[in-house]
Amino acid sequence: MKKSIIMISLFLSAATGIPSAFAQNISQATVDQLLKTKAALAALAQTKANIYSKDILDEARTSITKAQERIDAKKEKAALESLEMAQTLMNYARVKSEEREAAEKTAVTRAKLEKLQKNLEDILSGKEGAQ
């Protein structure tokens, strides 16, 4: 009876050790995703997003650093979550920058329109020197 209890205990302890042994391997896909995310952030930092959304890009850098730390600690699921957060932040920074650029272009176009409308009003009212 004691032998069977010891055998079962050994079997269970060995069986519970198997998942942790597999968990120590980080898939190449996760490492590739980390590298692609780093490269995408570097490229995004060369755009106006670095001006308009610097704080968001800094948060994305922090998430990438956490992902690297989690990969080093063999925590793949947590690393993937950090990479997903970084990618989401990068998309947010990109969109926010596009919005700011569009707003600036709209302001410039609105100023041109107002100038042309004033010029048209001057012409229609017969003012001299209207052009």
User: From CA 123, how far away is CA 111, in angstroms rounded?
Assistant: 18
User: From CA 1, how far away is CA 31, in angstroms rounded?
Assistant: 49
**Cβ 44 vs Cβ 87: under 8 Å:** no
49 CB-near residues (< 8 Å, 6+ apart): 56, 57, 93, 94, 96, 97
pLDDT given at position 128: 63
- Amino acid identity of residue 117, one-letter, is Q
pLDDT given at position 32: 96
For residue 96, count CB atoms less than 10 angstroms from its CB and return exposed for 0-12, middle for 13-18, buried for 19 or more: middle
pLDDT given at position 48: 93
Render pLDDT for 48-103 as a digit per residue (tens, 0 to 9).
Answer: 999 999 999 999 999 999 999 999 999 999 999 999 999 999 999 999 999 999 99
Render pLDDT for 109-120 as a digit per residue (tens, 0 to 9).
Answer: 999 999 999 999
